A and B are shown apart, each in its own frame.
Chain A
Amino acid sequence: AQSVAQPEDQVNVAEGNPLTVKCTYSVSGNPYLFWYVQYPNRGLQFLLKYITGDNLVKGSYGFEAEFNKSQTSFHLKKPSALVSDSALYFCAVRDPNTGFQKLVFGTGTRLLVSP
């Protein structure tokens, strides 16, 4: 069964600094990987995805993520954080071999960007 781990409950970064939110995954085949963001009292919003191809994926709001197969990781990054980036971030994985649609989410990482 597929699973995904987000080892940090919270990440603190100062505005203007680069940020990284970590994610590692476990699937039986080549994974489909996703990042979602949840702002307070809102539903989840899609940020970016990796399906195949270039390991560096660019998404919404200046975010990007790097797929690393040897480390089974898909860390979310942004070169310069904004206060408005403060939110809850979820990594998700889908095993393409499962035969049905099932997105499994990590436990979430709260990002706090200080002014």
Chain B
Amino acid sequence: DTAVSQTPKYLVTQMGNDKSIKCEQNLGHDTMYWYKQDSKKFLKIMFSYNNKELIINETVPNRFSPKSPDKAHLNLHINSLELGDSAVYFCASSPEGLPPLGAFFGQGTRLTVV
């Protein structure tokens, strides 16, 4: 009954590879996000989708591309992985409307690029 689930939980891959991280939420929320947490624990928003439409696209390399096949899914695809991409990636979702609620986070995907 996990509300926001990400797969895989751990991902170790070589430089130059392409990989995807999947995210699904069963809360019926309209908005989903991807956040990146670096080794210093800084948490930065990368993308936000509302009803399958991209509404926030922070300054991230073009190698990162989000895909939202439906309202409940927001996948993150990364091309040509680099060492600096190593981080923990969190998916989150939140409902629209007022009063605003906080976001619900997945467990995170620890990506290690070697």
Contact = CB atoms under 8 A, between A and B. Distances in A.
A75 B105 CA distance: 22
Interface string B90-114: 1010101001111111111000000
A83 interface: no
B100 A96 contact: yes
Contacts of A34: 102
B2 to A, nearest CB: 10
Contacts of A52: 99
A103 B35 CA distance: 10
Main secondary structure of the interface of A (DSSP, over half): strand
A77 B83 CA distance: 38
A2 B33 CA distance: 17
B31 interface: yes
Interface residues of B, number: 28
B100 A100 contact: no
A43 interface: yes
A32 B100 contact: yes
A47 to B, nearest CB: 9
Most buried by A among B55, B101, B103: B103
Contact of A44 (B42, B50, B90): B90
A103 B107 contact: no
B41 A100 contact: no
B56 interface: yes
Contact of A94 (B55, B100, B105): B100
A107 B40 CA distance: 9
Interface of A: 32, 34, 36, 38, 41-46, 49, 51-52, 88, 90, 92, 94, 96, 100-105, 107-108, 110
7 contacts: A38-B41, A52-B99, A101-B100, A102-B45, A102-B48, A103-B45, A105-B43
